[in-house]
Copies of this chain bind each other. A is one copy, B any other.
Amino acid sequence: MKILVSNDDGVHAPGIRALSEALATLAEVVTVAPDRNCSGASNSLTLTNPLRVQTIDNGYLSVNGTPTDCVHLAIRELMDGEPDLVVSGINAGANLGDDTLYSGTVAAAMEGRHLGLPTIAVSLVGRELRHYATAARFTLKLVRHLKMTPLPSNQILNINVPDLPEEAIQGVRVTRLGARHKAEGMIRTQDPAGRDIYWLGPPGQQQDAGPGTDFDAVANGFISITPLTVDLTAHDQLEGLSRWMDGVS
């Protein structure tokens, strides 16, 4: 089995090392990641500039692009034959609810659809992160199971692991994404020259975070797994919109 590992925290982040090393016990691993932190990159692509690749000391490949660029470039050009699987992470921080929309970690996994196996995004949920090993070991177990027991290959699994020692994990839950209220205001401050600058403020409060959601699972010490789709069509709105459009002349 051949696995492509990527992330959005950059090729030098601790999480990608923990993940690459764990998976290397099971498969041939190629690690290709951005040359700097790309948190918040979503599915962004580098369109106007070319990409360049550099091999760093530990053999990982460093790319001057986004997580999506990295996975795309690795599959199409850098790897010798397509990988069976893309695993992205371990992200330093949660990718839960509608925040997944902005996640470069999740985007890297999405870019691996069309491959032989489902793709996986893994994030470690907490502030002072200590337990990358918990997330790495669970991912390893999951990949081993995937190898034995098929799942549809176009699936994208979004995994969030509480930052706890392995024995403190309460179990695993399959969840749907929760949702937040709209974000609170931005933070306006001034640079030293006295000009206004604006920083992204904290995310909104959780709005849909009850049983069944990823927010709820993680808050209770469970590992959360959510199957994701890349189809943005709101299928349940097609009919209503069609009727409404009849009124436009």
Contacts and interface: CB of A to CB of B under 8 A. Distances in A.
A141 interface: yes
A32 to B, nearest CB: 12
Contact of A51 (B37, B40, B152, B198): B198
B177 A233 contact: yes
Interface in A142-185: 142, 145, 149, 151-152, 155-158, 172, 174, 176-177, 179, 181-185
A36 B234 CA distance: 31
Given A43-B101, A101-B43, A231 B50 contact: no
A25 interface: no
A231 B157 CA distance: 14
A186 interface: yes
Interface string A91-108: 000000010111010110
Identical chains in the assembly? 4
A158 B199 CA distance: 29
Contacts of A101: 43, 110, 230, 232
A151 B109 CA distance: 34
A234 B229 CA distance: 5
Contacts of A195: 52
8 contacts: A12-B12, A35-B36, A76-B185, A77-B198, A98-B230, A149-B247, A156-B234, A192-B200
